[in-house]
């Protein structure tokens, strides 16, 4: 099938530049041999072709491909980058997110290292829990030596990532997770204070509910050796505070730590460098749709997908800004249509996908996880005249995400009727099985629903696809109204076109003002009316609390998790970071990531001896 005339894609110059640089097919001489239009058609055709396996006629498949083409070229919906890059091509790996298991033996550590390389080569990101590895200095019976511990193996994975570089498309991204009760937790928390180390990893501490209770009550808790399942005894040197060198647990004593001391250390490091983030592991597991297949131990690199071992998710995001009418209302009918079509698209991606590992193919077919998310949220708000940092925006976030989540599930139910539910449905939290669908008190976690997909909704960062769609990224506030963009090695002045239109309409536009806004990074200039300054808030005008509240509002109606950065001004204190972390836990978030302006460029805290 080859479409004769492809309708032109509605793309900004920046989007075309990015596509040309990184997405369009090249021949062996490095010449680009695709246009954005033929790229989108390649994707649309490949994904629509799956319908034929479920009985669609050639004509129906063609119609479906045209609808998919329209969604992507008009910026209503974009799948994650690997789908755009690889659909209809030999590699054929279409997913952004993977989690691989690491067990406490060298075979497992190096098998998974190999699998990480294969996934990075195909443009996917990988997450790992290092929690099963025995701690540093623990015994290795086969050699009578001592173990080097989770952080040293994370460093090995980091170096391998550096070497792979994802075949020139994108550098591998990783998430490293360690449980708060692992004996090496203090070393892990501080391992990125030197910002030149482990740079290909984001790190998060897996935080249990028991830990948070211990923080609240200022209690101690035990560090557990995963090899024995028993409390760890401090070795010859004792356990020292990694920054002050103070002996926290003397040699030969059971390792018990004050939860508050550990939490303080996390906060101090996050304040200094943005890491570690937190992964609220018990809460994530409460919403694990297939608990009979295993527990969540880790997430993908940006945190929006808690996944099982050998689990995968293909993502796609709807551009919310497109659904604001000229009258300043939301076009819910169109949004519903796009949600349904996008859900179908993502379900097809599962079947069109070529995974690098058999275990991943198997699990993806058994649970059929998809991640439909949103982008352009900040655009939607400014078009509706609602400030991001307002109760009205929080209420609308709930309303919009609830609608998308519900409609996506209606579409998944329709698919289940046509193609059957996901094979593990019966034992999932959506099925009739009473044991795994209920909490210990007997209440249902989710209502029984016959779904095609075990999870449907998420919120991804949409780093590149938001540029392709020409919208604000994910659920983040606007980064700036006008700024200098460094994308694909080119410097470009990027001005929000809605802002330009409003300025012209209201008669206060000038080129000079736009450049001044880009240079100063804010719109607080006398020419800009006060009401405009109130609505057009950017990331740094917004108090961290509103960032957290926004994340929590979206989380309420999202199956998986939310990728979001809680921005702090440079002068924010560690206590403000602590408040954000505690608020995220209280409001039901599944994790949190913070970033304090300018902190990575800073002189890092000096590290003392490690114990």
CA distance 477 to 469: 16
> In this chain, which stretch among 85-93, 300-308, 360-368, 447-455 interacts with ligand UDP, using CB under 6 A?
300-308
Q: Each residue of 38-70: b (16+ CB within 10 Å) or e? A: bbbbbbbbbbbbbbeeeebeeeebbebbbebbb
Q: Considering the complex, what minimum distance in angstroms separates the CB of residue 91 from ligand UDP? A: 15
Q: Is 462 in the site for ligand UDP (CB under 6 A)?
A: yes
Return the residues of window 501-540 that contact ligand UDP according to CB under 6 A.
Answer: none
| Of 86 and 538, CB closest to ligand UDP | 86
* Sequential DSSP letters for 180-237: TTSTTHHHHHHTTSSTTSSTTEEEEEEE-HHHHHHHHHT-EEE-EETTTTEEPBP-TT
Minimum CB distance to ligand UDP smaller for 44 or for 96: 96
Pick the closest to residue 156 from 130, 184, 186 (CA basis): 130
Q: Which of 18, 72, 293, 302 binds ligand UDP (CB under 6 A)?
A: 302
99 lines the binding site for ligand UDP (CB under 6 A): no
Return the number of the residue (223 or 566) whose C-beta is nearest ligand UDP. 566
- Using the minimum distance from each CB to ligand UDP, give the nearer residue, 231 or 463: 463
Structure tokens at 165: 């570089």
Smallest gap from residue 347 Cβ to ligand UDP (A):
18
Residues 120-152, buried b or exposed e (16+ Cβ, 10 A)?
bbbbbbbbbbbbbbbbbebeeeeeeeebbbbbe
| 455 among known catalytic residues | no
Q: Looking at the DSSP assignment, which residues form a beta bridge with residue 105?
A: none
- In degrees, rounded to 5, the angle at the alpha carbon of residue 185 between the alpha carbons of residues 183 and 189 is 165
Confirm or reject binding of residue 470 to ligand UDP (CB under 6 A): no
> Is 460 among the residues that bind ligand UDP (CB under 6 A)?
yes
Of the candidate residues 73, 86, 268, 464, the single one contacting ligand UDP (CB under 6 A): 464
CA-based Rg of the chain, rounded to a whole angstrom? 24
Q: How far is the CB of 397 from ligand UDP (least distance, A)?
A: 19
Q: Which of 437, 465, 482, 580 binds ligand UDP (CB under 6 A)?
A: 465
Q: Min. distance of Cβ 18 from ligand UDP in angstroms?
A: 10
- Other CB atoms closer than 10 Å to residue 496's CB: what's the count? 24
Size of the site for ligand UDP (CB under 6 A): 19
Q: Which of 46, 80, 408, 453 binds ligand UDP (CB under 6 A)?
A: 80
Per the CB < 8 A criterion, the answer to whether 165 and 171 are in contact is: yes
Give SS3 for 324: strand
CB of 462 to ligand UDP, least distance (A): 4
> Pairing between strand 591-596 and 277-280?
antiparallel
Selecting among 97, 180, 191, 302, the annotated active-site residue is: 302
Which positions from 37 to 76 touch ligand UDP by CB under 6 A, shown as an x/- string?
----------------------------------------
CB nearer to ligand UDP: give 14 or 233: 14
Smallest separation, CB 304 to ligand UDP (Å): 6
Tell me if 131 contacts ligand UDP by CB under 6 A.
no
Catalytic member of 78, 187, 275, 304: 304
Please state the length of the chain: 611
Least separation in angstroms between CB 62 and ligand UDP: 26
Q: Which residue has the tokens 């297949």?
A: 293
DSSP states along 11-71: --HHHHHHIIIIIS-B-TTS-B---HHHHHHHHHHHHHGGGGGGT--HHHHHHHHHHHHHH
Q: Should residue 81 be labelled a site residue for ligand UDP when binding is judged by CB under 6 A?
A: yes
Interacting positions 550-569 with ligand UDP (CB under 6 A): none
Closer CB to ligand UDP, 479 or 509, in the complex: 479
Cα separation, 545 vs 567, whole angstroms: 10
Site stretch for ligand UDP (CB under 6 A), options 109-117, 266-274, 455-463, 499-507 = 455-463
Among 64, 170, 182, 564, binds ligand UDP (CB under 6 A): 170
Options 300, 353, 453, 496, the catalytic residue: 300
Task: Mark whether 602 is an active-site residue.
Answer: no
| CA distances in angstroms from 247 to 230, 236, 285, listed in the order given | 22, 12, 35
The nearer residue to ligand UDP, 116 or 428, going by C-beta atoms, is 116
* Number of residue whose CB is nearest ligand UDP: 125
User: For residue 604, what is the DSSP state?
Assistant: P
125 binds ligand UDP (CB under 6 A): yes
- What is the C-alpha separation between 454 and 366, in angstroms, rounded? 9
Q: How far is the CB of 78 from ligand UDP (least distance, A)?
A: 7
Q: 302 an active-site residue?
A: yes
Among 55, 21, 79, 571, smallest CA distance to 313 is for 79
Q: With respect to ligand UDP, which residue has the nearer C-beta, 304 or 541? A: 304
Residues 174, 180, 182, 187, Cα dihedral to 10°: 70
* Residue 469 interacts with ligand UDP (CB under 6 A): yes or no: no
Residue 74's φ and ψ, nearest 5 degrees, are -95, 5
Assess 360 for contact with ligand UDP (CB under 6 A).
no
Q: Which residues are catalytic?
A: 300, 302, 304
Contact footprint for ligand UDP (CB under 6 A): 80-81, 96-97, 124-125, 170, 173, 300-302, 304, 315, 460-465
């Amino acid at each position: 099938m080859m479409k004769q005339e492809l309708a032109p894609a509605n793309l900004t110059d920046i989007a075309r530049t990015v596509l040309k640089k990184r997405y369009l097919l090249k021949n062996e001489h490095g010449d680009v041999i695709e246009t954005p239009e033929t790229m989108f058609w390649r994707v649309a055709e490949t994904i629509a072709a799956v319908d034929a396996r479920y009985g669609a006629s050639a004509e129906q498949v063609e119609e479906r491909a045209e609808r998919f083409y329209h969604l992507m070229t008009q910026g209503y919906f974009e799948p994650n980058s690997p789908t755009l890059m690889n659909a209809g091509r030999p590699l054929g790996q279409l997913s952004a997110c993977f989690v691989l298991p690491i067990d406490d033996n060298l075979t497992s550590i190096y098998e998974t290292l190999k699998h990480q390389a294969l996934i990075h080569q195909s443009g996917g990101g990988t997450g790992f829990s290092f929690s099963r590895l025995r701690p540093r200095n623990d015994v290795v019976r086969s050699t009578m030596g001592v173990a080097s511990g989770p952080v040293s193996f994370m460093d090995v994975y980091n170096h391998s990532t550096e070497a792979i570089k994802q075949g020139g498309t994108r550098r591998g991204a990783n998430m490293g997770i360690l449980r708060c009760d692992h004996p090496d937790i203090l070393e892990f928390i501080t391992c990125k204070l030197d910002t030149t180390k482990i740079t290909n990893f984001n790190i998060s501490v897996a935080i249990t509910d028991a830990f948070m209770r211990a923080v609240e009550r200022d209690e101690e808790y035990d560090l557990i050796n995963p090899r024995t399942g028993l409390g760890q005894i401090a070795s010859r040197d004792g356990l020292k505070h990694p920054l002050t060198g103070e002996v926290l647990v003397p040699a030969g004593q059971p390792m018990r730590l004050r939860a508050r001391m550990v939490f303080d250390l996390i906060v101090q490091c996050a304040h200094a460098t943005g890491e570690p983030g937190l992964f609220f592991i018990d809460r994530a597991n409460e919403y694990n749709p297939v608990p009979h297949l295993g527990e969540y131990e880790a997430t993908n690199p940006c945190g929006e997908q808690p996944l099982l071992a050998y689990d995968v998710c293909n993502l796609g995001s709807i551009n919310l800004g497109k659904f604001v009418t000229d009258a300043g209302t939301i076009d819910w009918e169109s949004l519903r249509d796009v949600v349904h079509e996008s859900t179908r698209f993502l379900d097809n991606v599962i079947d069109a996908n070529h995974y690098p590992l058999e275990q991943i193919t198997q699990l993806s077919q058994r649970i059929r996880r998809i991640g439909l998310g949103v982008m352009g949220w900040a655009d939607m708000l400014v078009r509706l005249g609602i400030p991001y940092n307002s109760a009205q925006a929080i209420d609308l976030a709930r309303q919009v995400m609830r609608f998308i989540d519900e409609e996506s599930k209606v579409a998944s139910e329709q698919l289940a009727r046509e193609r059957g539910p996901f094979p593990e449905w019966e034992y999932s939290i959506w099925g009739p099985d009473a044991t795994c669908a209920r909490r210990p008190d007997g209440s249902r976690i989710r209502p029984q629903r016959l779904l095609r997909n075990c999870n449907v909704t998420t919120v991804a960062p949409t780093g590149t696809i938001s540029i392709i769609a020409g919208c604000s990224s994910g659920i983040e506030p606007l980064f700036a109204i006008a700024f200098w963009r460094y994308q694909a090695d080119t410097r470009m002045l990027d001005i929000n076109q809605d802002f330009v239109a409003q300025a012209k309409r209201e008669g206060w536009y000038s080129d000079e003002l736009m450049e001044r806004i880009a240079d100063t990074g804010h719109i607080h200039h006398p020419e800009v009316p006060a009401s405009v300054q109130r609505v057009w808030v950017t990331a740094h005008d917004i108090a961290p609390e509103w960032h957290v509240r926004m994340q929590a509002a979206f989380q309420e109606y999202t199956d998986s998790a939310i990728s979001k950065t809680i921005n702090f001004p440079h002068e924010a204190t560690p206590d403000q970071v602590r408040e954000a972390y505690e608020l995220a836990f209280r409001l039901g978030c599944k994790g949190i990531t913070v970033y304090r302006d300018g902190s990575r460029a800073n002189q890092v805290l000096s590290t003392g001896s490690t114990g």
